[in-house]
């Protein structure tokens, strides 16, 4: 009867720091490539509406305001594929690394 | 001899996804199994014909969250086949790298779940802790932990930098060491051997007859691996040694996965070394340039995955899309495995095929009242579902 080899490893783990991160108190920084909350650069947008046409989740609608036609992104529908960033001819949609998207009201999810 | 029916599912604590099994048991021995699929049918194939190719790619990715890279890879290869487009060389290598990273994370997930199902929670926690490192590289390379959205028609969406290549090599080196230790544990630990050895036997002849695919077949001594036989992406330049075990039981199927994890790490490292420089993407037309059909088979973590697409000239949507997923092909095999075993061994046998039911449920038509399976011919289907 030999000692199971896992026992040795389990024992050595007792003296190591835990691998889990205490999330709300300590936050992880995602890599810069992370696809989080969008950054809309309104002054760049020309209102062509390509992003709303290509969006696979139908999350982007074009809304006309006094400043012209601008996209609004419904983060509740968004699947964060960033196809909109890819098609935008003016680079008006940028990636953000913010991942804390929970809100109290559904209307707050709609990003204008 | 009287048998009792034990109904498991559709919603059951032992199953991770909704699926119904009727086990006919005689005492503690399972005599017969009746699977009933289709609880998570989502109508994806029909929905794909109503979306453009680019939009459809994100739906295809969601057929199965765990093997999403295999699904998109098969889809883009099928669509490129239909469009007659060739992706750049570097893109092929990057596809292979992300595909194999995805396989590592899927296999480690399954090994963890298998340990958890037999009550070996320590190993489950340890394996999942080390899997997290792979998830972090996937996040770094593709931009998200699970839904990578990496493959696109004509290439991949972003390049990797030299810094990322170094980081990947570092993490994989550490991972390989740990997986080697787990291989030792799986090979000799008394708990694991007691629960998996000689459980869920699937003989080589049966595996061939029932058309088992992937690690299920390879655990029964059938050497079938798409990556080795019909190399796609960069596998023609980075040859792969298919892992085969002859033991024909649940333990062998799990060992195949551990060895494949090591093999995948080797493939990634070789790809990183050999990767040529150059563009990662070519522009492809939005609409189909010709009426054609595209076809692609890839080795998903659970077995061979088939995507088939029909395109029409000038149409930006596929005319018909068909997906055949590995778990669907493995369902007859798992029924065979369960027969003759004990009720307590059902989870151990079921987990060894790495079942993924949400990707399985797409096309079977079942009459709910009489629970009769209806097969319809293509014309009726066309009349009913096509425009």
Query: pLDDT, tens digit, for every residue of B46-88?
Result: 889 988 998 999 999 988 888 899 999 999 999 999 999 999 9
SS (H, E, C) chain A: CCCCHHHHHHHHHCCCCCCCCCCCCCCCCCCCCCCCCCEECCCCCCCCCHHHHHCCCCCEEEEEECCEEEEEEECCCCCCCCHHHHHCCCCCEECCCCCCCCCCCHHHHEEC
Answer yes or no: are the C-beta atoms of B127 and B104 closer than 8 Å. no
Residue B115 in domain? yes
The pLDDT profile of chain A, 112 residues, written as one tens digit per residue, is: 566 677 777 788 888 888 888 988 999 888 888 998 989 888 888 888 899 999 999 899 998 887 788 889 999 899 998 999 989 999 899 988 888 888 898 888 887 6
**For chain B, how many structural domains are there in total?**
1
What is the C-alpha to C-alpha distance for residues A27 and A21, in angstroms, rounded to an integer? 8
Residue B375 in domain? no
pLDDT at residue B63 in the model: 87
CB contact under 8 A, B139 and A31: yes
pLDDT at residue B372 in the model: 53
Residue B32 in domain? no
pLDDT at residue B380 in the model: 55
The confidence band for B282, taking pLDDT boundaries of 50, 70 and 90, is: very high
pLDDT in tens, B310-326: 999 988 899 999 988 88
What does the pLDDT average to over B157-167? 91
CB contact under 8 A, B147 and A79: yes
What is the C-alpha to C-alpha distance for residues B50 and B324, in angstroms, rounded to an integer? 19
Residues of B with CB under 8 A from a CB of A: 51, 54-59, 122-123, 126, 129, 132, 139-144, 147, 149, 157-158, 181, 184-185, 188-191
Residues of A with CB under 8 A from a CB of B: 2, 4-6, 9-10, 13, 19, 30-31, 33-35, 54-57, 79-83, 86, 95
Answer yes or no: are the C-beta atoms of B137 and B167 closer than 8 Å. yes
Judging contacts by C-beta atoms under 8 Å, the chain B residues touching residue A57 are 58
Dihedral pair phi/psi, residue B382, rounded to 5°: -65, -45
Provide the domain limits for residue B60.
Answer: 42-358
Residue B27 in domain? no
Answer yes or no: are the C-beta atoms of B167 and B191 closer than 8 Å. no
What is the C-alpha to C-alpha distance for residues A68 and A71, in angstroms, rounded to an integer? 10
Closest CA–CA distance from residue B228 to any residue of chain A (Å): 32
pLDDT at residue B139 in the model: 92
Judging contacts by C-beta atoms under 8 Å, the chain B residues touching residue A31 are 139-140
Crossing angle (nearest 10°) for helices B89-117 and B250-274? 150
Residue B291 in domain? yes
* Helix segments in B157-213, DSSP class H: 162-188, 190-196, 204-209
Residue B290, domain CATH: 1.10.645.10
Residue B24 in domain? no
CB contact under 8 A, A82 and B143: yes
Residue B260 in domain? yes
CB contact under 8 A, A4 and B188: yes
The confidence band for B95, taking pLDDT boundaries of 50, 70 and 90, is: very high
User: Which domains does chain A show, CATH number per domain?
Assistant: 31-111 (3.30.70.3270)
Of A31, A56, A86, nearest to B59 by CB-CB distance is A56
Answer yes or no: are the C-beta atoms of A79 and A56 closer than 8 Å. yes
B319 three-class SS = coil
CB contact under 8 A, A33 and B142: yes
pLDDT in tens, B232-272: 888 999 888 889 999 888 999 999 999 999 999 999 999 99
Mutate which of A2, A6, A21 to test chain B, going by most B C-beta atoms within 10 A? A6
Residue B380 in domain? no
Answer yes or no: are the C-beta atoms of B39 and B194 closer than 8 Å. no
Closest CA–CA distance from residue A44 to any residue of chain B (Å): 23
What is the C-alpha to C-alpha distance for residues B173 and B66, in angstroms, rounded to an integer? 23
């Amino acid at each position: 009867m030999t000692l199971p080899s896992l026992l040795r490893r389990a024992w050595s783990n007792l003296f190591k720091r835990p691998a889990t991160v205490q999330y709300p108190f300590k936050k992880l920084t995602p890599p810069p490539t992370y696809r989080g909350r969008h950054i809309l650069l309104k002054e760049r947008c020309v209102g062509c509406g390509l992003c709303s046409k290509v969006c696979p989740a139908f999350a982007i609608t074009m809304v006309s305001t006094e400043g012209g036609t601008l996209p609004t992104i419904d983060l509740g529908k968004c699947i964060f594929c960033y196809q909109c960033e890819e098609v935008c001819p003016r680079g008006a949609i940028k990636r953000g690394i913010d991942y804390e998207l929970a809100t109290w009201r559904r209307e707050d999810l709609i990003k204008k | 001899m009287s048998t009792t029916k034990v109904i498991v599912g559709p919603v059951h604590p032992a199953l991770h996804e909704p699926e119904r099994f009727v086990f006919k048991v005689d005492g503690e021995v399972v005599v017969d199994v009746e699977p009933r699929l289709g609880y998570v049918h989502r109508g994806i194939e029909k929905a794909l014909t109503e979306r453009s190719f680019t939009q459809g790619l994100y739906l295809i990715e969601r057929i199965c969250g765990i093997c999403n890279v295999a699904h998109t890879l098969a889809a883009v290869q099928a669509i490129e086949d239909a469009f007659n487009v060739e992706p750049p060389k570097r893109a092929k290598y990057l596809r292979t790298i992300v595909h194999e990273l995805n396989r590592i994370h899927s296999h480690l997930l399954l090994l963890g779940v298998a340990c958890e199902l037999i009550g070996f929670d320590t190993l489950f926690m340890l394996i999942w802790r080390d899997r997290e490192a792979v998830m972090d590289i996937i996040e770094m390379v593709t931009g998200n932990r699970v839904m990578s959205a990496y493959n696109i028609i004509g290439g991949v969406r972003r390049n990797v930098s030299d810094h990322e290549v170094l980081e990947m090599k570092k993490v994989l080196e550490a991972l390989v060491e740990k997986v080697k230790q787990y291989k030792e544990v799986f090979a000799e630990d008394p708990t694991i051997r007691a629960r998996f050895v000689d459980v869920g036997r699937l003989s080589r002849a049966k595996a061939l007859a029932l058309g088992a695919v992937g690690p299920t077949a390879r655990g029964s001594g059938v050497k079938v691996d798409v990556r080795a036989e019909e190399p796609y992406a960069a596998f023609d330049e980075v040859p792969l040694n298919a892992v085969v075990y002859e033991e024909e039981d649940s333990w062998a199927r799990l060992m195949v996965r551990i060895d494949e994890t090591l093999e995948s790490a080797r493939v990634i490292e070789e790809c990183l070394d050999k990767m040529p420089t150059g563009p990662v993407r070519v522009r492809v037309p939005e609409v189909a340039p010709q009426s054609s059909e595209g076809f692609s088979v890839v080795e998903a973590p659970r077995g061979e995955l088939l995507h088939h697409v029909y395109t029409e000239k000038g149409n930006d949507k596929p005319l018909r899309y068909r997906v055949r997923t590995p778990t669907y092909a493995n369902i007859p095999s798992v029924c065979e495995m369960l027969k003759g075993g004990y009720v307590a061994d059902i989870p151990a046998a079921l987990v060894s095929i790495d079942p993924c039911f949400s990707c399985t449920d797409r096309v079977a038509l079942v009459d709910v009242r009489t629970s009769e399976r209806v097969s319809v011919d293509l014309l009726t289907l066309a009349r009913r579902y096509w425009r």
